[in-house]
Amino acid sequence: MSNATMLYGHIEKPRHIVEHIFAIKEVQERTHGILLFIPIKFVPWNTKLYRDGLVKGPAPTEYDVKVVAISRLILGDSIKRIGAYWISTGKRLASTLLMAGANDLVGTMINEQVLKQAGSRESVTLGELAHIAREAGLRLFLRDTFHRILTEVGNA
């Protein structure tokens, strides 16, 4: 069992995103081993692509929403969880993504360094994540690696 990811918002074309999602769906249909699909927005600030002018800045919000919505449409029920990765999109957009097809707030891991080194300055508390989930009409649960529920967060 594993998660599948896709980095987007850099030099790809929309067709590359669609091809990638269909490839993930094909893997899931063969293996039934993907627990969660996580589209990860490219954070450009401290990257060579940005320094060389190949990427002018982060993808626009509309692009993020389209990526998540298209992911949900293509994956359907084959992969039940699609992540709103707040570390790369920001908390406010993560809330919107939960209404566009995502159903999992991804990013509570301890000591995440890749996006921080790329220039992400996002931080959040579990209470804030619970608030984001509630705004979208969802409940927040802490889970283990295999997505078994450990506890509900902020159920007051």
Per-domain residue ranges for the chain? 2-153
CATH code given to domain 2-153: 3.20.20.70
Per-residue pLDDT band for 122 (boundaries 50, 70, 90) equals: low
17-26, 50-59, 94-103, 131-140: the lowest-pLDDT one: 131-140
Q: Are 69 and 21 in contact (CB under 8 A)?
A: no
Q: How far is CA 1 from CA 32, 39, 74, 118, in A?
A: 8, 18, 20, 28
Q: What is the pTM of this model?
A: 0.84
User: Closest Cα to residue 124, out of 99, 148, 88, 71?
Assistant: 88
The per-type count for the chain, helices as H runs and strands as E runs, is 7, 6
108 in Cβ contact with 142 (< 8 Å): yes
Residue 147, pLDDT score: 85
pLDDT for 79 beyond 90: yes
Side-chain half-sphere exposure of 18, counting CA atoms within 13 A: 6
- Residue 78 pLDDT > 70: yes
Alpha helices in the chain (DSSP H): 14-31, 48-51, 61-75, 86-89, 91-99, 114-118, 126-135
| Percent of residues, the chain, with pLDDT higher than 90 | 60
- 145 pLDDT band, cuts 50/70/90, is confident
4 versus 119: the higher-pLDDT residue is 4
Residues 44, 11: Cα–Cα separation, whole Å? 11
Quick check: 139 pLDDT over 70? yes
For residue 27, which phi and psi values (nearest 5 degrees)? -60, -45
Model pLDDT, residue 110 = 44
Residues belonging to the chain: 156
